[in-house]
Amino acid sequence: MATAMTGRGMAFIRNVSGTLISRLQVLGGGPQQLSCLHTSSSLSSAKWEKKNRMMFPPQLPDEPRRPAEVYHCRRQIKYSKDKMWYLAKMIRGMSIDQAIAQLEFNDKKGAKIMKEVLLEAQEMAVRSHNVEYKSNLYLAESYTGKGTYLKRIRYHGRGMFGIMDKVYCHYFVKLVEGSPPKTEERTSLDQAKEYVQGLKNRTIIHGL
């Protein structure tokens, strides 16, 4: 049987054996040989806390004063990240006093936790980050992230079950010294005018 083979058959065999050998080599060599794989894979990373350790060189007297930035976060809050997002979006860009006032009178569960986080961050800023006035801060960034979920069984009828997620979320906040930046209010009329202007600015090429 081995002797009765055509030339094409032999080429096919050589290809197959070549791919098999290379595949086995790849399996044996492991992920170090491939450079396109991610090398750091861990669920818990503490990058936000490390941002507070950034040092800047001393400023020259003619440079504008650099505003202080304070990063704070709280991990594994027992709340949904989507529900928390509504509150985070609401206070984005507000001054810290306004944000604390809004959260105090909000009925959601996440509002109480968020207010604690903001007060902690304010205290930290005044005590260890050389912020002069505790009201002179505004929220530059505030967003939520997914925490590590616990999985439980949710029992349905007829012996069926579903996997229930016990949701946790993280909340990140960055306070910057200064008054909050003014966002320009664009009305619909302005937007319509800009659209019409864009249409008028078109140039017709290769036309008569």
Site residues (CB under 8 A) for another protein? 1-2, 5, 9, 12-13, 16-17, 20-21, 24-25, 27-28, 53-59, 65-69, 129-130, 132-133, 150-153, 161, 163-164
Find the shortest distance in angstroms from Cβ 141 to another protein.
17
The dihedrals phi and psi of 140, each to the nearest 5 degrees, come to -85, -45
173, 121 contact by CB (below 8 A): yes
Find the shortest distance in angstroms from Cβ 27 to another protein.
5
How far is Cα 171 from Cα 115, in angstroms, rounded to an integer?
11
Q: Which is nearer to another protein, 65 or 186 (CB)?
A: 65
Q: Which is nearer to another protein, 163 or 199 (CB)?
A: 163
Q: Which is nearer to another protein, 151 or 182 (CB)?
A: 151
Find the shortest distance in angstroms from Cβ 126 to another protein.
8
Q: Quick one: the chain helix, strand, coil %, rounded to 5?
A: 40, 20, 40
Q: Which is nearer to another protein, 22 or 191 (CB)?
A: 22
Distance of CA 31 to the CA centre of its chain: 28
Q: Which is nearer to another protein, 159 or 207 (CB)?
A: 159
- Of 130, 118, 122, 51, nearest to 91 (Cα)? 118
Exposed/middle/buried for residue 13 (C-beta within 10 Å: 0-12, 13-18, 19+): exposed
Find the shortest distance in angstroms from Cβ 28 to another protein.
4
